[in-house]
Amino acid sequence: MLLTPLRVLALSFLFSSYSHGDSIKWLLSDWPPYQYQQDGQYLGYSVDTLKVVLKYLTQHDHHFQISNYKRRHSKFKHKEKVCTFGISKNAEREEYMHFSTPAELYFPIQIFMRQDTYENLGKPKLASLEALLRQNAGTLAITPGVIYSPEVDKLINSEVFKKNIFINTTKAISKNLYGMLLLERVDFLLDWPPEGRYGLNLQKAEGQVVSVILKEASEMSLAYAACPKTDWGRKMILQINHALASAHKDSTYTHAYQAFLDPYLVDVYLGEFKRRILDRGK
């Protein structure tokens, strides 16, 4: 795209107005392996992805801070100079946040099963939760309070399938349920691919469990960067969008997320990343 003199002038003003010395505090979640802090280091696949973006946003000083959901959103509502990364967009949040163009793409909830179960089912690349429940294929473990997807939530709340479902009252998906899965006390559980890989790492059980895309939750989710709904936030988002355009073409951009995917999911992910982010608007 050719830049007109007027566009060049506008961009020059934008970047000169917020030059070196402007400090951005990035508010992060405490949710391993997504975003978390350990031994003074900020870690997680979303943090690593954000760091790629910041390579193209060097005109500012960047700082990270772990913040819980309530405090994080309070800072946005009070119009502080903060931003966040990897957040979903909805109408309520748009009232007090400016959102970037799509920044990240995530797989939705998937169904995890032991390798032997996966083989007995014919090594499916797509599974129907409803079919598995109707066929009494095994016991599904769920965690109360977790929103999986509209279709999945409808199924697991149905009286028809109550006998096939184990409710995990400890609310610790990764640690407890994967142990039960390996001990054959349950046969299936629902989790996000990176969180699942993290849970299996804690159990030292890599290679023993497989995740499969669910028919009832097959659409990948977009995530965004967000800043407060102020003039500062609006201008910052314009610069973040500019950085994202470069970061998305960086060969390392998706590496951190890919590391938590089963090998067969990587090509699926990269195809969707190209379609929904790289080729967006073409």
Write the pLDDT tens digit of every residue in 249-276.
999 999 999 998 888 889 999 999 999 9
Q: Can you give the pLDDT at residue 204?
A: 84
C-alpha triplet 194, 195, 196: angle, nearest 5°: 90
Q: Mean pLDDT, to the nearest integer, of 141-153?
A: 86
Nearest by Cα to 81 from 15, 24, 28, 27: 24
Q: Can you give the pLDDT at residue 197?
A: 86
Dig out the tokens for 144 from the structure: 């109360």
Q: Mean pLDDT, to the nearest integer, of 87-115?
A: 95
d(CA 149, CA 276): 20
Q: Are 249 and 280 contacting, i.e. CB atoms less than 8 angstroms apart?
A: no
Dig out the tokens for 70 from the structure: 């309530």
d(CA 241, CA 277): 12
Amino acid at the residue 40: G
Helix/strand/coil percent split, the chain, to 5: 40, 25, 35
Q: Can you give the pLDDT at residue 18?
A: 44
Residue 145 burial (CB < 10 Å; 0-12/13-18/19+)?
exposed
d(CA 132, CA 121): 10
Write the pLDDT tens digit of every residue in 148-166.
888 999 999 999 999 999 9
pTM of the full structure: 0.80
Neighbouring residues of 110: CB distance < 8 A, sequence distance ≥ 6: 190, 191, 192, 193, 196, 211, 212, 213, 214, 217
How many CB atoms are closer than 10 A to CB 170? 9
Which residue bears the tokens 């959102």? 99
d(CA 51, CA 133): 42
d(CA 45, CA 218): 21
Nearest by Cα to 166 from 156, 155, 152, 175: 156
Neighbouring residues of 67: CB distance < 8 A, sequence distance ≥ 6: 27, 28, 29, 75
Neighbouring residues of 225: CB distance < 8 A, sequence distance ≥ 6: 53, 83, 84, 85, 86, 87, 99, 100, 103, 237, 240, 244
Confidence band of 79 (pLDDT split at 50, 70, 90): very high
